[in-house]
Structure 1
Amino acid sequence: MKWIFPVLSFIGGVAVAFQAQINGGLGKKAGALEGAFISFVIGTLALFFLLLFFGKGNLGAVFSVPKWQLFGGLLGAFYVSVMIFAVPNIGVAPALVAVIAGQLIFGVLIDHFGWFGGKPIPIDTKKIIAMFLLFCSLFLFNHN
């Protein structure tokens, strides 16, 4: 059953690709920050209704978790805003290659050092080679 997580992650990546182009078009028509705001309002409404029907957690936890854990929402807003600016200018694929590079490189660092309470997973030679190849991909996607 562990196979489901990479499959769901892949589907999440597909959704991000669609989201980038859709939000880029929205930003062109409504304005970049306005497009990001509209996107988050729609997402918030969707989550609200899912929470009403399927939620079993504790919204009150917002008052007891470490405050740095609430920063994730700001990072999501930053990401959507950046993609709304970037995609119309460079396209979906080059923007996503840059996003993936940032995610993987900092994901490796977060794992290596066990930041934010994660289990430390050391950097190895394979990961270093993969990051180098990712930079090559980033260069090729963005070099005209």
Structure 2
Amino acid sequence: MHHALIMLAAGIGIPILAALNARLGANIGAPAAAATVLFAVAFTCSAVVASVTGLGGFARLAGQPPHLFLAGALIAFYVLSITWIAPVFGVGNAVLFVLLGQMISSALIDQFGLFGARATGVSPLRLLGLATMALGLVLTQLGRDG
């Protein structure tokens, strides 16, 4: 249960991150600078946690497949895009499409066991659940201005 609560907290943080960084980018007139500051703060926080939990993993980085480092580019893409897009598209709309993308990619990763994940077939019932969630996400955005 604690894993679910941690991930719930992470999910709660995504729209907050989007709103805060979008506002910072708009306030300073430079979304890329706002994203850079976000990464500097994130790096500092990660470095503190790594120093407390142990630095041994850094020694094993050199032997890892290069494609695993794509995650850094993907988070940079997310932060840069949400910082630029949210002020003009709206945080709710931006996060809606982020969540839809997450649902699609997570189902594909599970279905095919991509990137070393445990393969868990996407059954018709799970597809119905994903479609219901997608519809729910869309419904949360319809008519919100009127």
Using the size of structure 2 for normalisation, the TM-score is 0.87
Counterpart residue number, 1:17 = 15
Structure 2 stretches lacking a partner, 5+ long: none
Match of 1:54, as an amino acid? Answer: T
How many Å separate the matches in 1 of 2:76 and 2:39? Answer: 8
CA 1:61–1:142: 2 relative to 1, 3 Å: farther
Match of 2:11, as an amino acid? Answer: G
Q: Would you say 1:48 and 2:53 are equivalent positions?
A: no
* SS of residue paired to 1:58: helix
Alpha-carbon offset, residue 17 of structure 1: 1.8
Where do 4+ consecutive residues of structure 1 move more than 4 Å? none
Counterpart residue number, 1:107 = 106
Alpha-carbon offset, residue 142 of structure 1: 6.0
How many Å separate the matches in 2 of 1:59 and 1:142? Answer: 46
Contact 2:35 2:83 in 1 (8 A): yes
Match of 1:14, as an amino acid? Answer: I
* SS of residue paired to 2:56: coil
Using the size of structure 1 for normalisation, the TM-score is 0.88
Counterpart residue number, 2:69 = 70
Identify which range, 47-56 or 88-97, moves more after superposition. Answer: 47-56
CA 1:56–1:19: 2 relative to 1, 3 Å: same
Contact 1:97 1:137 in 2 (8 A): no
Q: Percent identity?
A: 23
Q: CA RMSD in A?
A: 1.8
How many Å separate the matches in 2 of 1:21 and 1:55? Answer: 33
Once the two structures are superposed, the pairs formed by residues 62-101 of structure 1 within 5 Å of their partners are: 62-101=61-100
Contact 1:97 1:138 in 2 (8 A): yes
Alpha-carbon offset, residue 55 of structure 1: 2.4
Match of 1:6, as an amino acid? Answer: A
Alpha-carbon offset, residue 132 of structure 1: 2.2
Match of 1:82, as an amino acid? Answer: S
Alpha-carbon offset, residue 82 of structure 1: 1.0
How many Å separate the matches in 2 of 1:51 and 1:25? Answer: 29
Count, aligned residues: 142
Give CA-to-partner distance per residue, 1:33-66, whole Å, 9 cap, x none: 1111110011111212222233253202221111
